[in-house]
Protein backbone atom coordinates (compact mmCIF):
# COMPACT_ATOMS: atom_id res chain seq x y z
CA UNK A 1 0.00 0.00 0.00
CA UNK A 2 1.22 3.48 -0.87
CA UNK A 3 1.72 5.64 2.23
CA UNK A 4 1.37 9.40 2.65
CA UNK A 5 5.07 9.54 3.49
CA UNK A 6 5.94 7.91 0.17
CA UNK A 7 3.64 10.31 -1.67
CA UNK A 8 5.16 13.30 0.10
CA UNK A 9 8.65 12.09 -0.82
CA UNK A 10 7.68 11.64 -4.48
CA UNK A 11 6.15 15.12 -4.63
CA UNK A 12 9.33 16.55 -3.11
CA UNK A 13 11.43 14.99 -5.86
CA UNK A 14 9.04 16.26 -8.52
CA UNK A 15 9.00 19.76 -7.01
CA UNK A 16 12.77 20.01 -7.06
CA UNK A 17 13.25 18.55 -10.54
CA UNK A 18 10.46 20.72 -11.98
CA UNK A 19 12.03 23.79 -10.39
CA UNK A 20 15.31 22.89 -12.11
CA UNK A 21 13.57 22.35 -15.46
CA UNK A 22 10.56 24.71 -15.47
CA UNK A 23 10.32 24.67 -19.26
CA UNK A 24 10.31 20.88 -19.60
CA UNK A 25 8.08 19.77 -22.45
CA UNK A 26 7.98 17.28 -25.29
CA UNK A 27 10.96 17.80 -27.60
CA UNK A 28 9.49 16.22 -30.70
CA UNK A 29 8.47 18.84 -33.25
CA UNK A 30 5.03 18.63 -34.84
CA UNK A 31 1.98 20.73 -35.63
CA UNK A 32 0.23 20.99 -32.26
CA UNK A 33 -3.11 21.22 -34.05
CA UNK A 34 -2.55 17.85 -35.75
CA UNK A 35 -2.49 14.77 -33.46
CA UNK A 36 -1.57 12.65 -36.48
CA UNK A 37 1.79 14.41 -36.78
CA UNK A 38 2.48 13.68 -33.11
CA UNK A 39 1.56 10.03 -33.62
CA UNK A 40 3.99 9.81 -36.53
CA UNK A 41 6.79 11.46 -34.55
CA UNK A 42 6.19 9.19 -31.56
CA UNK A 43 6.27 6.04 -33.71
CA UNK A 44 9.50 7.23 -35.32
CA UNK A 45 11.09 7.99 -31.93
CA UNK A 46 11.28 4.32 -30.90
CA UNK A 47 14.96 3.35 -30.73
CA UNK A 48 15.82 6.81 -32.10
CA UNK A 49 16.56 10.21 -30.60
CA UNK A 50 14.14 13.12 -30.73
CA UNK A 51 16.88 15.10 -32.49
CA UNK A 52 17.08 12.45 -35.20
CA UNK A 53 13.30 12.36 -35.61
CA UNK A 54 13.09 16.15 -35.83
CA UNK A 55 15.56 16.09 -38.71
CA UNK A 56 13.40 13.85 -40.87
CA UNK A 57 9.83 14.91 -40.11
CA UNK A 58 9.80 18.28 -41.96
CA UNK A 59 10.46 16.63 -45.32
CA UNK A 60 8.23 13.69 -44.45
CA UNK A 61 5.27 15.92 -43.61
CA UNK A 62 5.90 18.07 -46.67
CA UNK A 63 5.62 14.98 -48.87
CA UNK A 64 2.74 13.32 -47.01
CA UNK A 65 0.64 16.24 -45.83
CA UNK A 66 -2.02 14.40 -43.84
CA UNK A 67 -3.14 11.00 -42.62
CA UNK A 68 -5.00 10.34 -45.88
CA UNK A 69 -1.78 10.82 -47.85
CA UNK A 70 0.03 8.31 -45.62
CA UNK A 71 -2.88 5.88 -46.02
CA UNK A 72 -2.59 6.00 -49.81
CA UNK A 73 1.17 5.48 -49.75
CA UNK A 74 3.19 2.28 -49.82
CA UNK A 75 5.86 1.73 -47.18
CA UNK A 76 8.56 1.85 -49.85
CA UNK A 77 7.55 5.44 -50.60
CA UNK A 78 7.93 6.42 -46.94
CA UNK A 79 11.26 4.67 -46.33
CA UNK A 80 13.55 7.18 -48.13
CA UNK A 81 12.37 9.96 -45.83
CA UNK A 82 13.18 8.11 -42.60
CA UNK A 83 16.11 5.86 -43.55
CA UNK A 84 18.46 7.68 -41.16
CA UNK A 85 16.45 6.27 -38.24
CA UNK A 86 16.75 2.85 -36.68
CA UNK A 87 14.34 0.15 -37.93
CA UNK A 88 13.15 2.54 -40.64
CA UNK A 89 11.60 -0.20 -42.79
CA UNK A 90 9.45 -1.49 -39.94
CA UNK A 91 8.52 2.06 -39.00
CA UNK A 92 7.47 2.85 -42.56
CA UNK A 93 5.20 -0.20 -42.56
CA UNK A 94 3.75 0.80 -39.19
CA UNK A 95 3.03 4.36 -40.32
CA UNK A 96 1.19 3.26 -43.44
CA UNK A 97 -0.78 0.64 -41.50
CA UNK A 98 -1.53 3.17 -38.76
CA UNK A 99 -2.80 5.70 -41.28
CA UNK A 100 -5.05 3.15 -42.93
CA UNK A 101 -6.43 2.16 -39.51
CA UNK A 102 -7.13 5.78 -38.57
CA UNK A 103 -8.84 6.48 -41.90
CA UNK A 104 -10.85 3.25 -41.97
CA UNK A 105 -11.88 2.97 -38.32
CA UNK A 106 -11.71 6.52 -36.92
CA UNK A 107 -12.84 8.66 -39.86
CA UNK A 108 -9.35 10.06 -40.34
CA UNK A 109 -9.07 11.51 -36.83
CA UNK A 110 -6.62 10.19 -34.23
CA UNK A 111 -8.84 9.01 -31.36
CA UNK A 112 -8.54 10.68 -27.98
CA UNK A 113 -9.08 7.37 -26.22
CA UNK A 114 -6.18 5.33 -24.92
CA UNK A 115 -7.65 1.91 -25.64
CA UNK A 116 -8.44 2.90 -29.22
CA UNK A 117 -4.98 4.40 -29.66
CA UNK A 118 -3.39 1.11 -28.63
CA UNK A 119 -5.31 -0.61 -31.44
CA UNK A 120 -3.34 1.42 -33.98
CA UNK A 121 -0.25 -0.33 -35.46
CA UNK A 122 2.97 0.95 -33.93
CA UNK A 123 1.25 2.52 -30.92
CA UNK A 124 1.92 0.75 -27.63
CA UNK A 125 1.02 1.80 -24.07
CA UNK A 126 3.85 4.32 -23.75
CA UNK A 127 3.18 5.90 -27.13
CA UNK A 128 -0.53 6.10 -26.36
CA UNK A 129 0.23 7.85 -23.06
CA UNK A 130 2.44 10.39 -24.83
CA UNK A 131 -0.27 11.11 -27.38
CA UNK A 132 -3.04 11.38 -24.78
CA UNK A 133 -1.00 13.80 -22.68
CA UNK A 134 0.40 16.02 -25.41
CA UNK A 135 -2.34 15.95 -28.05
CA UNK A 136 -5.38 15.81 -25.81
CA UNK A 137 -4.16 17.13 -22.45
CA UNK A 138 -5.28 14.00 -20.64
CA UNK A 139 -3.28 13.14 -17.48
CA UNK A 140 -0.79 10.35 -18.17
CA UNK A 141 2.75 9.40 -17.19
CA UNK A 142 4.37 7.84 -20.23
CA UNK A 143 7.21 5.66 -18.95
CA UNK A 144 10.13 5.61 -21.34
CA UNK A 145 13.69 4.55 -20.47
CA UNK A 146 14.39 7.90 -18.79
CA UNK A 147 11.27 8.00 -16.63
CA UNK A 148 11.76 4.39 -15.58
CA UNK A 149 15.41 4.96 -14.71
CA UNK A 150 14.68 8.09 -12.67
CA UNK A 151 11.82 6.43 -10.79
CA UNK A 152 14.00 3.46 -9.81
CA UNK A 153 17.02 5.52 -8.82
CA UNK A 154 14.86 7.74 -6.64
CA UNK A 155 13.42 4.67 -4.96
CA UNK A 156 9.90 5.39 -6.19
CA UNK A 157 9.55 1.92 -7.68
CA UNK A 158 11.36 -1.37 -7.97
CA UNK A 159 9.44 -2.34 -11.09
CA UNK A 160 11.10 -2.68 -14.48
CA UNK A 161 7.99 -3.18 -16.59
CA UNK A 162 6.96 0.29 -17.88
CA UNK A 163 3.25 -0.35 -17.33
CA UNK A 164 3.86 -1.32 -13.70
CA UNK A 165 6.12 1.70 -13.17
CA UNK A 166 3.35 3.91 -14.55
CA UNK A 167 0.81 2.45 -12.12
CA UNK A 168 3.09 3.02 -9.13
CA UNK A 169 3.94 6.59 -10.13
CA UNK A 170 0.25 7.36 -10.57
CA UNK A 171 -0.34 6.27 -6.98
CA UNK A 172 2.48 8.46 -5.71
CA UNK A 173 1.81 11.69 -7.58
CA UNK A 174 -1.27 13.92 -7.90
CA UNK A 175 -3.14 13.27 -11.13
CA UNK A 176 -2.94 16.96 -12.04
CA UNK A 177 0.86 16.64 -12.14
CA UNK A 178 1.26 13.43 -14.16
CA UNK A 179 2.07 15.20 -17.43
CA UNK A 180 4.48 17.52 -15.61
CA UNK A 181 6.21 14.51 -14.03
CA UNK A 182 6.61 12.80 -17.39
CA UNK A 183 8.32 15.81 -18.95
CA UNK A 184 10.39 16.77 -15.90
CA UNK A 185 11.74 13.25 -15.39
CA UNK A 186 12.65 12.94 -19.07
CA UNK A 187 14.56 16.22 -19.05
CA UNK A 188 16.29 15.23 -15.80
CA UNK A 189 17.21 11.87 -17.30
CA UNK A 190 18.61 13.39 -20.46
CA UNK A 191 20.54 16.22 -18.87
CA UNK A 192 21.65 15.13 -15.39
CA UNK A 193 20.63 11.61 -14.35
CA UNK A 194 21.98 9.98 -17.48
CA UNK A 195 22.26 6.23 -17.81
CA UNK A 196 25.98 5.49 -17.52
CA UNK A 197 27.41 8.20 -15.28
CA UNK A 198 24.82 10.51 -13.69
CA UNK A 199 25.96 14.02 -12.78
CA UNK A 200 25.00 13.76 -9.12
CA UNK A 201 26.89 16.93 -8.17
CA UNK A 202 24.52 18.90 -10.40
CA UNK A 203 21.36 17.11 -9.25
CA UNK A 204 18.69 19.15 -7.42
CA UNK A 205 17.71 16.17 -5.24
CA UNK A 206 21.16 14.71 -4.54
CA UNK A 207 20.88 15.14 -0.76
CA UNK A 208 17.80 12.91 -0.53
CA UNK A 209 18.28 10.64 -3.53
CA UNK A 210 19.02 7.02 -2.48
CA UNK A 211 20.87 6.49 -5.78
CA UNK A 212 19.42 3.02 -6.20
CA UNK A 213 21.62 1.04 -8.56
CA UNK A 214 24.10 3.91 -9.05
CA UNK A 215 27.72 2.88 -8.54
CA UNK A 216 29.55 5.41 -10.71
CA UNK A 217 28.62 9.08 -10.80
CA UNK A 218 30.10 12.50 -11.45
Q: How many CB atoms lie within 10 A of CB 201?
A: 9
Q: Of these residues, 5, 113, 126, 175, which one is catalytic?
A: 126
| Residue 144 known to be catalytic | yes
Torsion of CA 125, 128, 130, 133, to 10 degrees: -120
| Residue 29 known to be catalytic | no
Contacts of residue 3, defined as CB under 8 A and 6 or more positions apart, other chains included, come to none
Query: Is the separation of the CB atoms in 129 and 114 below 8 Å?
Result: yes
Q: Give the separation between CA 183 and CA 35, rounded to whole angstroms.
A: 18
Closest of 217, 42, 208 to residue 123, by C-alpha: 42
Q: Of these residues, 91, 93, 101, 144, which one is catalytic?
A: 144
Just list the catalytic residues. 126, 144
Amino acid sequence: MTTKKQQKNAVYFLDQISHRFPDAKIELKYDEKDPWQLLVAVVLSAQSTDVGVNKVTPRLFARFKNVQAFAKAESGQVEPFIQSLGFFRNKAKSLVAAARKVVADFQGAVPGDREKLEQIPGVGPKSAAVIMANAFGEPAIAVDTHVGRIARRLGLTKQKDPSKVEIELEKLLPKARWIEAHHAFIWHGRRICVARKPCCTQCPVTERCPRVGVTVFA
